[in-house]
Amino acid sequence: MTDVEVVDARGLDCPQPVILAKKAIERRDRILVLVDDDIALENVKRLAAKVGCGVEVEKQHDGTFQIHMSKTTAQDAPAADEPFLSGDRGFAQGGPFVVVISDNRMGRGSDELGNVLIRAFLHTLCQQEVKPDAMIFYNSGVKLTLKDSEVIEDLQQLAGDGVEMLVCGTCLNYFDVTKDMVVGTISNMYDIAGLMSRAGRLVTP
């Protein structure tokens, strides 16, 4: 194990586990990442897919996950489940069109009106000829991705039309609703900030 770098990311907040793992795999061919929650596990696994690494996971008796990442040859590399993050989706020149949803209502003032407006916005977005390349959900915006959301059918339609959806894992954990998310991919601030920084159009309703 002397050639394996150990990254102890237990107890660290998002996006530190991903950042530390990324830096380590850039230095070494094999690393072992230790995390102690499901969100960090999924984020590190997605990082492995993104950078073309093989990954194996072992769950320990104390609830810790040992994530073994190893660099692979190009022909053996697994297909990434988030190609838009690696820049190979063929976005229009200038970067992707990204919609950022930070609340489960639209605008300030009346909560009742805000609920009506966000439903109308997302339903209208479904009807647009030019749809976003990706959508980001954070803070209470993640509640829109839950099974009892009033806009879940519209979001599922957008996802079916190829719109990528990143849902903040830290926010899901904060509201204790991770198990109720039914659309999108659980993500982290590293990927969210990266996508926002590359956006050609960034819309926040």
Neighbours of 44 (CB within 10 A): 27
At residue 7, what is the residue type? V
Instruction: Give span(s): CATH 3.40.1260.10, the chain.
Output: 84-203
Enter the DSSP assignment of 64: -
Dihedral (Cα; 28, 34, 35, 39), 10-degree rounding? 40
What CATH number labels 5-78? 3.30.110.40
Dihedral (Cα; 177, 14, 54, 180), 10-degree rounding? 10
Instruction: Give span(s): CATH 3.30.110.40, the chain.
Output: 5-78
**pLDDT at residue number 13:** 83
**pLDDT at residue number 108:** 87
* 100: nearest Cα among 16, 7, 196: 196
84-203 classified as CATH 3.40.1260.10: yes
State the residue for tokens 């995390």: 35
| Mean pLDDT in consecutive groups of 10 residues from the start of the chain, 205 residues | 83 87 91 92 89 92 93 53 43 80 93 94 92 96 96 96 94 95 94 92 92
Q: Are 54 and 72 in contact (CB under 8 A)?
A: yes
Burial of 195 (0-12, 13-18, 19+ CB in 10 A): buried
